[in-house]
Copies of this chain bind each other. A is one copy, B any other.
């Protein structure tokens, strides 16, 4: 028979079992934090109508999607979890309780050109709190504290940089530059990437001799300095007040790894207040999660106003980063805690013993390969942390040697005590 060369497309992560286990552990730790905060879990379809997913998309998004037409249905694979959330909230509004607190972890798809480091399928994790008509500033502090809790659960050293877009809105208004707000913010968003000088020069094209006054904002490092600016613009004052409230609440929640940083803008046009970004200490220029406050989640789908605040993080990318940092050694175990290895005619006994152990919640497997030698080989290769060789002596005496494969040490116990020494 002619065979076909099996391969996985580039940009689509596929892990070996041990790495997959580590990825799953990372995902579970994150999910646990989200659940501890009482967020509901959503699971929307991967494939949606193009008319829905692309409701607010421009030509740029169009190029970066996986779109397919079947019969007369035009469909697209989701490229984020925000548009599906907007759809979901619009459809089920009357059945949900607001503020609606949800998270979703799922694969999203980007039609990027295959290129090293560019992922075309990756896990996205989103957490949002959505209000019906209004939403307290408390929610802003809460989502930041959740993100902080995730970093803590992953044992990573990360800092969350927080700003509020109203500050820059106010500054630009005071300088009579509100009409160029979008363009200027887009340039300022690239500050870190472009370098200060290049960024300054490009903003100058739009703002002329007011540019240095804009850039002065970036020198402000504390809330106190910010207040001392004494700008009378309402936007500015509201931004300062919101930042004060958010930092006060974060302090109350005992969230310490947060810092004011007015450089944080977040490219997306739809953020209107609080914005924040998490940075690993070891990769300070790369964002590992971020988000902010938006005024209207569902504008493209309905006329009711639904403000929200939330964050997103790319889990696949985070996994790759944390692997580089060796932060992922928290679980190097196989799924089985113990392997039972029959020696002689004890296979049936092993199967019964395995059932008993599983009933106690202990993962285990019986190695029933042909020869005793290949059973031992298998145990060595899979990395199972404990083994029990079950010979006829053991069955008769009822005493089993549990061998820890790392230390090489063997402890002898009766069958009902096995779980105590694993």
Contacts and interface: CB of A to CB of B under 8 A. Distances in A.
Interface of A: 1, 3-9, 12-17, 20-21, 23-24, 35-49, 51-52, 55, 66-68, 70, 73, 75, 77, 86-88, 90-92, 95-97, 99, 101-102, 107, 109, 111, 120-121, 134, 136, 138-139, 142, 145, 149, 248-249, 252-254, 299-303, 334-336, 339, 347-348, 351-352, 354-355, 358, 361-366, 368-370, 378, 381-382, 384
B4 A36 contact: no
Contacts of A382: 97
A362 B32 CA distance: 10
A23 B301 CA distance: 28
B7 A52 contact: yes
B46 A107 contact: yes
A183 to B, nearest CB: 22
B40 A17 contact: yes
Contact of A47 (B21, B39, B66, B368): B66
A36 B121 contact: no
Given A145-B355, A254-B355, 14 more contacts: A1-B299, A3-B301, A4-B300, A5-B301, A6-B90, A6-B301, A8-B87, A14-B43, A36-B361, A37-B365, A67-B68, A68-B68, A252-B352, A253-B354
What DSSP secondary structure best describes chain A's contact surface?
mixed
Contact of A45 (B9, B48, B70, B142): B9
Contact of A363 (B38, B70, B252, B362): B38
Nearest to A89: B6
A368 B254 contact: no
Given A4-B55, A67-B68, A365-B101, A9 B48 contact: yes
Contacts of A87: 6-8
A9 B249 contact: no
Contacts of A4: 51-52, 55, 300-301
26 contacts: A3-B300, A4-B51, A4-B55, A6-B87, A6-B302, A7-B49, A8-B44, A8-B45, A8-B91, A9-B47, A9-B49, A16-B92, A20-B40, A23-B43, A24-B43, A36-B358, A36-B361, A36-B362, A36-B363, A37-B363, A38-B336, A46-B46, A47-B120, A138-B366, A253-B351, A254-B352
A366 B361 CA distance: 34
A351 B384 CA distance: 42
Nearest to A109: B47
